[in-house]
Structure 1
Amino acid sequence: MGGSTSMNEVLQRFDTVRNAVFRLVDQWRNRPSQTPIVPQGNVAGTALIIVIAIMTFLACLTLGGVSLVRDSAATWQSQISKEATIQIRPIDGEDMEALLAQARKIAQGFAGVTSARIVDKAATARLLEPWLGSGLDIDELPVPRLVVVSIDEDQPPDFATLRAELVRSVPGASFDDHRTWVDRLVSMARTTVLIGMSVLVLVIAATVLTVIFATRGAMAGNDHIIEVLHFIGAEAGFVAREFERHFFRTALKGALCGGGTAILVFLMISWWSSRNLATPEADQAAALFGNFAIGRDGYAGVAVIILLVSLLTMITTRLTVITQLREMDNRGSEAI
């Protein structure tokens, strides 16, 4: 009798738990369509949007900087292959204008030189203006004068022979093909690009980790509903889809805000640069970094980052949910 009574109590308790589970499932199935497993618009969701917006903004800024430096390095390499410079230092008793004319004549006589141009006094003063100020009198300053030599990129001249002839024939002359310092600038630019890409990878990795923690927090907040749905037969893919849809929308909102802000910053910098092109300082900056415009490729890269962040968030959420459900199954198996 005692055993029979205990069995009846166990069966009654089982029926009570089963009925409670069925009521919970019916409530969830009959919930309004706007009430998903993951609640919308909570504090955690808003914070995640802000974090993703910040991460996307930093990633877009990094990509824009990398694109700017890369394009500048390509421009430097292209320009240096087209021009070289003859520098003539002032020497007492020598006519500078005659030395400039002689150097130009020698350079034009070499095959591979398309033209040679003397930088006049006014242009020389403009080059020195950022450092020495305006109103310079070149005749009163012991500054060297320049001859710009245009080079045929396909068939360049013999630089060693040209340099030796200039040194021999023109007092105070030296020939610079700029390759030494341009190689250093290009090397620095490539290093900067590598550092920028590393920062971009770190930002994306931080975003993925943030999404993982946010997904686990959302699952912990809805643990009772997920467990019931999972143990009565709901597939892991169904639960994962509920979460990935929510987090994809959240990530897309944040990524659009961050990417849009980055585009606005790029446009403002480009506008400021275009408004200040007439100043010597802006000319020097433009010589190094162009007009600070990232171009169509840069803006396309921003769009790619927005989509990439959203898709990575969705994929990360799905994998996290499936992993958590497997751990839940393992705990249930061990309990049995």
Structure 2
Amino acid sequence: MTEGEPKAQGPRRPEMRVRPTAPIVPPSNVSGNALMLVIAIMAFLACLTFGAVSMVRATAASWQSQISREVTIQIKPDDALDMEQALKDARDLALTFAGTRDGTIVDRAATARLLEPWLGEGLNLDELPVPRLVIVTIDEQNPPDFAAMRQALAGKIPQAFLDDHRTWVDRLVAMARTTALIGTGVLVLVFSAMVLTVVFATRGALSGNRHIVEVLHFVGAEAGFVASEFQKHFLKISLKGSFAGGFLAALCFAVAGFWQGRSIATPESDQATALFGTFSMGLTGYLGIAATMVVIALLTTLTARFTVMRTIYEIDLIRSDPSRTDQLPDS
């Protein structure tokens, strides 16, 4: 071979290809379809209950705020009383107190509309001893002295009566607390049932695949490695199930809110609003649903890890006891 002549290239070696690794836990053996369905159902119930409790609390707080920000002055009719002048005097007197913001006289037409559900249409208020109303808006953070206002009204207009709605507010607060307590109790029961169901379903799915854990442990895999492989598998299952259940619960509230928004001023919507308030949970409710989904996924993952570690401990316990070696699988 002369200098400068290119060297002859020998036969090229075939390129080595890395064979793709299969998952340690075969999905075909540990499908987890039943577990995924159980997680989806329990996540739906838990998120639905959490959303309902959040909605009830928000509605009760809204009602309480609306009632607390107003007081009512009722003036009973009297033959010697100029009703229109008495209404103006009562409003002006109430606005002299610190903590009041505005006063509105309920006119005759509005009073008649308030009585229509009970007395029908076409009312003649001159023929009925119907009290007239003055609605006074107050500062919730700095309310006026109701006792002094009541005394001043009684001295100037004997037919006037101040209703600060304290009785209604106390009853509403008690009802809201009771409803929230009952809802929280239901949420605790649903979540407890979900915990037990997920635990037993996860253990059942793992008990049917104990041989996989035994084989991996016998070939030298550490307990932490085996547990992490099962964790990954069950984390995927739990995320799919919890996302499906949580998404369905959030969709139910969104559809209910959309229906309520589209059917405003209809009898069905008015009745639903009067009983349940608005079907809007707000950002807090949806964040709570997302947090519930995460808790379910973590619960399932930790249960899988605990079960695998316990299974490996039982295998090691059997191997260390010669009298129990017959319980080991044939190699």
TM class, shorter-length:
0.7 to 0.9
| 1:62-118, Cα deviation, whole Å (9 max, x unpaired) | 221222222223333433443211123344664543432332232123233222111
Q: In structure 2, what is the Cα distance between the partners aligned to 1:31 and 1:156?
A: 73
Which among 166, 178, 185 is matched to residue 191 of structure 1?
Answer: 178
Which 10-residue stretch deviates more, 110-119 or 224-233? 224-233
Q: In structure 2, what is the Cα distance between the partners aligned to 1:182 and 1:38?
A: 58
Q: In structure 2, what is the Cα distance between the partners aligned to 1:92 and 1:109?
A: 28
Q: Tell me which residue corresponds to 1:39.
A: 28
Q: In structure 2, what is the Cα distance between the partners aligned to 1:47 and 1:164?
A: 70
| 1:38-69, Cα deviation, whole Å (9 max, x unpaired) | 63674xx2222222112111111122122222
| 1:124-178, Cα deviation, whole Å (9 max, x unpaired) | 344345x437635251554433211111345432100111222343344221111
Q: Tell me which residue corresponds to 1:205.
A: 192
Q: In structure 1, what is the Cα distance between the partners aligned to 2:228 and 2:42?
A: 24
Which 10-residue stretch deviates more, 324-333 or 33-42? 33-42
Q: Tell me which residue corresponds to 1:52.
A: 39
- 1:215–1:321 CA contact under 8 A, matched in 2: no
- 2:246–2:290 CA contact under 8 A, matched in 1: yes
Asked whether 1:304 is paired with 2:264, we answer no
- 1:204–1:309 CA contact under 8 A, matched in 2: no
Asked whether 1:122 is paired with 2:109, we answer yes
C-alpha change, 1:282 and 1:119, in structure 2 (3 Å) is farther
- 1:334 deviation in Å? 4.1
Q: Tell me which residue corresponds to 1:135.
A: 121
- 1:259–1:303 CA contact under 8 A, matched in 2: yes
- 1:266 deviation in Å? 0.9
C-alpha change, 1:104 and 1:319, in structure 2 (3 Å) is same
Q: Tell me which residue corresponds to 1:166.
A: 153
Asked whether 1:271 is paired with 2:265, we answer no
The alignment's C-alpha RMSD in Å is 3.0
Counting only pairs closer than 5 Å after superposition, residues 19-34 of structure 1 correspond to structure 2 as 33=22
Which among 53, 56, 68 is matched to residue 69 of structure 1?
Answer: 56
- 1:38–1:218 CA contact under 8 A, matched in 2: no
List alignment gaps of at least 5 residues for structure 1: 1-29
Q: In structure 2, what is the Cα distance between the partners aligned to 1:284 and 1:219?
A: 50
C-alpha change, 1:285 and 1:179, in structure 2 (3 Å) is farther
Asked whether 1:87 is paired with 2:78, we answer no
Q: State the AA in 2 paired with 1:36.
A: V
DSSP 3-state at the match of 1:36:
coil
Q: In structure 1, what is the Cα distance between the partners aligned to 2:30 and 2:307?
A: 21
- 1:244 deviation in Å? 1.8
| Percentage of identical aligned residues | 56
Q: State the AA in 1 paired with 2:301.
A: M
Q: In structure 2, what is the Cα distance between the partners aligned to 1:134 and 1:264?
A: 41
- 1:255–1:306 CA contact under 8 A, matched in 2: yes
More helix by share: 1
Name the TM-score, length of structure 1 as normaliser: 0.78
C-alpha change, 1:208 and 1:288, in structure 2 (3 Å) is closer
- 2:25–2:212 CA contact under 8 A, matched in 1: no
Counting only pairs closer than 5 Å after superposition, residues 275-290 of structure 1 correspond to structure 2 as 275-279=262-266, 282=269, 286=273, 290=277
Q: State the AA in 2 paired with 1:176.
A: D
Q: State the AA in 2 paired with 1:73.
A: A
Q: Tell me which residue corresponds to 1:149.
A: 136
C-alpha change, 1:263 and 1:138, in structure 2 (3 Å) is farther
- 1:331 deviation in Å? 3.8
- 1:121–1:138 CA contact under 8 A, matched in 2: no
C-alpha change, 1:329 and 1:260, in structure 2 (3 Å) is same
Q: State the AA in 1 paired with 2:86.
A: L
Q: In structure 2, what is the Cα distance between the partners aligned to 1:208 and 1:31?
A: 37
Name the TM-score, length of structure 2 as normaliser: 0.79
DSSP 3-state at the match of 1:114:
strand
Q: In structure 2, what is the Cα distance between the partners aligned to 1:41 and 1:239?
A: 14
Q: In structure 1, what is the Cα distance between the partners aligned to 2:232 and 2:120?
A: 63
DSSP 3-state at the match of 1:312:
helix
Q: Tell me which residue corresponds to 2:169.
A: 182
Matched length = 304
C-alpha change, 1:235 and 1:251, in structure 2 (3 Å) is same
DSSP 3-state at the match of 1:324:
helix
| 1:200-259, Cα deviation, whole Å (9 max, x unpaired) | 333233222222222222232222332233244322222222322222111111112111
Q: In structure 2, what is the Cα distance between the partners aligned to 1:256 and 1:223?
A: 28
- 1:294 deviation in Å? 1.1
Q: Tell me which residue corresponds to 2:244.
A: 257
